[in-house]
Amino acid sequence: MSPITKLLIANRGEIASRVIRTAREMDIACVAVYSDADADALFVREADEAVRLPGTAPADTYLRGDLILEAARATGVDAIHPGYGFLSENSGFARDCAAAGIIFVGPPPEAIDSMGSKIEAKKTMAAAGVPVLPGITIDTEAEIDASALSARVAAEIGYPVLVKAAFGGGGRGMRIVRDEAGLIEAVEGARREAVTAFGDGTVFLERFLDSPRHIEVQIFADTQGNVVHLFERECSIQRRYQKIIEEAPSPVVDDALREELGRAAVAAGKAIGYVGAGTAEFVMGSDGGFYFLEVNTRLQVEHPVTELVTGLDLVRLQLEVAEGNPLPDEALHATVTGHAIEVRLYAEDVPAGFLPATGTVHGFSVPDLPGIRVDAGVSEGSEVGVHYDPMLAKVIAWGATRDQARRRLARALAESSLHGVVTNRELLVGILREPEFAAGTIDTGYLTRHDPVTLSRAGRGANIVAVHALAAALAAQAVRRASARVLGHVRSGYRNAPSGWQEAVFDIEGEEVDVRYRVGRSGLRAIVDGTELPGVVLHSATPDRVDLLVGGVRRPCAIRRVGDTAYVDSALGSTTVVEAERFPEPGSRNAPGSLLAPMPGTVVRVPVEVGAEVKEGTTILVLEAMKMEHTVSAPVDGTVTELRVRPGQTVDLGAVLAVVEAPE
């Protein structure tokens, strides 16, 4: 093959930026494709050229192979890198690239076909002697006979059962069923999600192992027949069956087990004629026994941890192999040095049940500490919508030991700022500092044993709301003083003679917080929600920084103000403080019993009708956002008196969806 001189990245977000970074180091020109929602995205600005894909939904843009090939021809590229997700495991697209004379930076279509169906992949691995779990397949068009399926599951698998989409990955379309009662609903829900995410509703059912470890092995192969493994990664910290923290190497895999895992992964690669970067995934029990899950025929989200411990650039290797070059000696004889841990920073509200979050990014920064790497898909001003995966960035730390990497990463995250969008940052910090994680005694059941909300609040100071509310009030007053036309030299809040209290009302985490303060000759007095704060001393107050002493502890607070919202950061944590509407319009309050949209999304199902009598927990409707389904349930026993939405309708955050009235 000829050298690649111009590369189109058929993806978006942080992976597009990641590929661009390495390609430019190799003097390869880069072309981005983008949807209307991504017109101002970071990766578009980083590319040398960019081509618009009209529309916003993935099916109309990033999943349109014909449009991407049209963009490739128009810009004269030599190759297409599919990143991960979207078309990265689409054998038809790989064939179309070959037919167009364009290099597909990935494995041969035949290898994708063999692993594209998890069902066929299991058969292939079983034939190769790799341990697999028994399962049942349900085709996308098959009618579901509830009684017959229940009988088969009881006889062939047993409970608990894992229901999983046959195509795709990322935890989409995955359900765990503990007993017969939830089986049919789980299968139907998985099929709907699979159709939306991957265009095929085929699912399979297999025995679910409670709380195993999730271990995967990075493999790499070239066109000269070399197939190697680049060691394992531990991916056991998951929520909703999607990884959020990964590390390399695994804290429980010794040299003997590492060799056994590596042999199995290499054998899998050879069995399917693999070329390029791929990952063999396994579940592992406490006895060290492992069972095949799947082979991901693409680069993985978590590839940076492998890069940091091996010193290899996996994207560079992908491009070199795609050019027809053999794997270099450093890949054929790779070694592990130190330890690396990666966290996925998601736009989601953990206390609200991991609901996707949207908004405009303000002030995103991660401190430049030793051993820290950031692969980001957003920057100042980026818009985070409902159309795509909620991952904003990956933050990765390397250390000579696992503990050093863990501590570095926890500190970097704790000192990071990302305003305007609710994220899972506090949860990630809480996990990294939790003793069980620190000891490496983890498995896929970690977040069932450890409450995510409790972990998210573990690092927050007890008086964070009071201190940050007062800081926000003083910063707002400083803004007003800065624009004052008279007595501009007088410090914020000062009164020459005793006078009434200054007052501010804020919305903090859904609660109304009242702040009253007064600055006089004797200093600052402050009352928050009726309680006077002890020993308050105001050292300084500017629009973007308030230095307070409260209860004998000095608390410098950084404030970033956007409209009526102040983002306050200190050693206590981070708080979003919204100035409350003091005099709302009459009739603007929602009626009692109103069910509000927890995030922007699309209504996919409304299984009840107006007038229906429902019990607490009954599904009223199902929303889809960021490729995930979210159920809106009745909060109490009552009657559905209003349904304001229909299937297919798009709704905004906070919109009234339905009203359930409780009996008098």
CA dist 189 → 153, 386, 400, 604, 633 (Å): 17, 20, 44, 11, 16
Helix (H, G, I), strand (E, B) or coil at 130: coil
> What size, in residues, is the chain?
664
Give the whole-angstrom CA distance, residue 576 versus residue 567.
5
Whether the upstream peptide bond of residue 160 has omega within 30° of 0, thus cis, is yes
For residue 166, give the DSSP letter: S
Q: How far apart are CA 550 and CA 534, in angstroms?
A: 6
| Contacts of 180 by beta carbon, 8 Å cutoff, 6+ apart | 150, 153, 154, 159
What 259-263 contacts at long range (C-beta under 8 Å, 24+ apart), as own/partner pairs, is: 261/215, 261/217, 261/229, 261/232, 261/290, 262/217, 262/229, 262/231, 262/232
Report how far residue 26's alpha carbon sits from residue 22's, in angstroms, rounded to the nearest whole number. Answer: 6
298 is catalytic: yes
70: CB partners within 8 A, 6+ apart: none
Contact 559, 545 (CB under 8 A): yes
Handedness of CA 82, 86, 90, 93 (dihedral sign): negative
| Strand arrangement of the beta sheet that strand 545-550 belongs to | 531-532, 523-528, 511-520, 502-508, 573-579, 565-570, 553-562, 545-550, 537-542
Residue by residue, DSSP assigns 446-510 as HHHHS-HHHHHTTTS-TTHHHHHHHHHHHHHHHHHHHT-SS-TTSPTTB-SS--PPEEEEEEETT
Catalytic position from the list 191, 213, 298, 516: 298
Closest CA to 236 of 260, 209, 259: 209
Catalytic residues: 298
